[in-house]
Homo-oligomer: A and B are copies of this chain.
Amino acid sequence: MTKPRPASRPTAVKPIDPPTSDSPKLWKTGLTCIEPNKILMRGYPLDEVMGRLTFGEAIYLLLMGECPSPSIGSLMEAILVSFIDHGVTPPSTLAARNTATTGAPLRACVAAGVLGFGRYHGGDIESCMQFLDTGLELVRKGASYRDAAQAIVMRCLESGEPIPGFGHRFHTRDPRAARLFQMALELEVEGGHIQMIRAVELVAASLPEGHAQPVNIDGAIAAVCGDIGIPAEIANALFIISRVPGITAQAQEERQREHPMRQIDPKEHIYDGAGQRRLPDKRR
């Protein structure tokens, strides 16, 4: 790159960060080690992990660095299942279907769908975790969960902010949130964050008509992650990882059932899939 060139020709240049010595400056990764015929994921040979950890457990291992305990593993699976799809109407799903109808390949549809996780859609984790942490701070200083919950809810209302982790476009009782709390209780991982959000639930439900709000899946995931030690930035990732299969399925259904370049009207759909049914008894 520093080869001399004829005077009239511009010299190529080294961009930034010229190394201070002749040896190149090494950067480090601690995730996956690749050697000929060997792949170590957080130290574990990937072929050994295959068949011994589930996909959900492997995701935890890759993101957190260690295998999950059985309880945390079960909650991981449940968190990842909870957000897997929500029908045709979420804007991210519509972005994916609109891409699919132009004949774009699957990966383009998935990318378009993933981009639709903006501030208002699955991106509420950090504010929800901070919200719960503010309440827990009051508890640490001696307040009851109820009084702390009352205080942080009031702060939201006074500032005109929505209560993070609460409210839903559609559900008055988010079945996914309820199930996640039930599992956390049964698996005995319920801690301060979940207690705090249950206390906020009571306050939020008793607000005057029109202001009462249920806890939603974002809030439930934030609370559970807080209690099992998953930091906010990784919790953020779980929404995307969870929803990608749903976006995939939606894009493929669009391509298989509909003609190309159609006008997708989210209101004019009807469900024609399987009727409500129960899992076979032998499923644990």
Residues of A whose CB lies within 8 Å of any CB of B are 1, 3, 8-17, 24-56, 58-59, 62-63, 65, 67, 74, 76-78, 80-82, 84-89, 91-92, 94-96, 98-99, 101-112, 114-121, 123, 169-176, 178-180, 183, 233-234, 236-237, 240-242, 244-246, 248-250, 252-253, 257-258, 260-280, 283-284
New A-B contacts (17) at CB < 8 Å, excluding given A1-B267, A53-B81: A1-B268, A11-B35, A15-B170, A17-B263, A31-B249, A38-B175, A43-B276, A44-B277, A51-B183, A54-B81, A89-B263, A92-B102, A94-B264, A106-B237, A107-B117, A108-B115, A111-B111
Name the residue on B nearest A65 (C-beta).
B274
Which 6 A-B residue pairings sit nearest by Cβ, starting from the closest?
Answer: A43-B274, A30-B273, A102-B118, A103-B119, A103-B118, A104-B118
Question: In whole angstroms, how far apart are the Cα atoms of A119 and B109 in the complex?
Answer: 13
When A27-B268, A29-B269, A268-B25 are in contact, do A95 and B112 touch as well, CB less than 8 Å? Answer: yes
Q: Chain B contacts of A253 at CB under 8 A?
A: 29-31
